[in-house]
A and B are shown apart, each in its own frame.
Chain A
Amino acid sequence: MTDAPKTRREPPVSPHLMTGGFGSPLLWRWHITMWTSILHRATGCALYAGALIAAAWAITLAGGPEAYAGFKSVMGSIPGKVVMFGLTLCVFYHLANGVRHLVWDSGHGLDIKSANASAMVVFAFAAVATVAIWGLAGMTGAL
């Protein structure tokens, strides 16, 4: 090969979030289905921490009244409640979007119009369910 280029071209890369390295311009226009995909992973990771809090609940309950009182005072504090509110949003978002994924796995709702509409339903469900549950918690003396 005599006409080989002198400088090596950048190898082609598969489409990803960014045009170059971290912080470079985004390759994609932001879209609602992109948000739902990213948030499904983000809420899943947050719920990982939430499950460890649930494990701490079980362990302190088995530990006796003092340990359990300590757990309850941490979770009942303002930062504890902020975490629980965030986890409530994550639970309902991940639940609704998980059902959306299961519907997709059955081969339904995969067209763009349906995917956009179901994304809105997921956001609406997460917001309404979270407010409803915290309202119920307030009325039953859980706060």
Chain B
Amino acid sequence: MVSYRTPLGRARGLGSAKDGVGHWIGQRVSAVALAPLVLWMVYGVIRLAAGDYGFAVHWVQDPLNATLTVLTLAIAFFHMRTGMQVVIEDYVDEALGKSVLLILNLFVCGLAGALAIFSILKVAFGGVVGGA
């Protein structure tokens, strides 16, 4: 088949959706970041499961733990949003339902991620809370 696209058009290569490359790369880059973070998180979950409230507050107030927890949450919620977006785009054909689910996905990830990160920062900056 003869292509009628100009070399410039091919080089720009955005296609009819004008979008997608950034999404694809974002999903891969966040995956690379999450691989070590998730291994650290599994270790953290075991330690937190063995400890009580005071231990968890103390653990979160350690700068390294606070930073890695916030990074894990932020990147995980980003990765989740992009992943679930592809699932919705693949399986939901109906235009309105697709739009509603895509927006819901974005809002759930945004709200849960923001709440979780704010909570970690509150504990991390909060000094010694009652019971600790």
Interface residues of A (CB under 8 A from B): 41, 44-45, 47-48, 51-52, 54-55, 57-59, 61-65, 68-69, 72, 75-76, 88, 91, 95, 98-99, 101-102, 105, 133, 136-137, 140-143
Supply 22 A–B pairs (Cβ within 8 Å), ascending by A. A45-B84, A48-B83, A48-B84, A52-B112, A54-B76, A55-B113, A58-B73, A58-B117, A59-B119, A61-B56, A61-B123, A65-B129, A65-B130, A68-B53, A76-B49, A98-B31, A98-B34, A99-B35, A102-B31, A140-B50, A141-B50, A142-B47
B42 near A51 with CB under 8 A, answer no
Kindly supply a per-residue 1/0 record for chain B positions 99-132, scoring 1 wherever the CB is within 8 Å of any chain A CB and 0 otherwise: 0000000001000110111111011001001110
B76–A51 touching, CB < 8 Å: yes
**Chain B residues within 8 Å of A58, by CB:** 69, 73, 115-117, 119-120, 123
B31 touches A142 (CB 8 A): no
Q: Quick check: B35 and A64 within 8 Å, CB to CB?
A: no
- How close is B91's CB to chain A, nearest CB, in angstroms? 10
Given known contacts A59-B116, A64-B130, A137 and B73 CB-to-CB distance under 8 angstroms: no
Q: Which residue of the partner chain B has the closest CB to A101? A: B31
A124 to B72 CA separation, bound complex (whole angstroms): 25
In the complex, A101 Cα to B48 Cα: how many Å? Answer: 31
* B123 touches which of A45, A62, A137, A140 (Cβ 8 Å): A62
The docked-state distance in angstroms from the alpha carbon of A3 to that of B80 is 54
The contact of B53 among A69, A101, A102, A142, by CB within 8 Å, is A69
**Nearest A-chain residue to B39, judged by Cβ:** A95
Number of B interface residues at 8 Å Cβ cutoff, please give it. Answer: 41
CA distance A95 to B116 in the complex (A): 22
Q: Are A137 and B49 in contact (CB under 8 A)?
A: yes
Main secondary structure of the interface of A (DSSP, over half): helix
- Could you say which of A48, A51, A142 contacts B50, with CB atoms under 8 Å apart? A142
Q: Which residues of A contact B48 (CB under 8 A)?
A: 57
B119 surroundings in chain A (CB, below 8 A): 58-59, 61-63
- Docked CA distance A55–B117 (Å): 8
CB distance from B75 to the nearest CB of A (A): 11
Q: A-facing mask of B26-59, CB < 8 A → 1, else 0?
A: 0010011011001100100011111011001100
A95 and B38 CA atoms in complex are apart in Å by: 8
Nearest chain A residue, comparing its CB with the CB of B129: A64
Residue contact A137 to B116, C-beta cutoff 8 Å:
no
Shortest Cβ distance from A133 into B: residue: B42
B80→A47 contact, CB < 8 A: yes
**Minimum CB–CB distance for B38 against chain A, Å:** 6
Taking CB as reference atom, which chain A residue is nearest B60?
A61
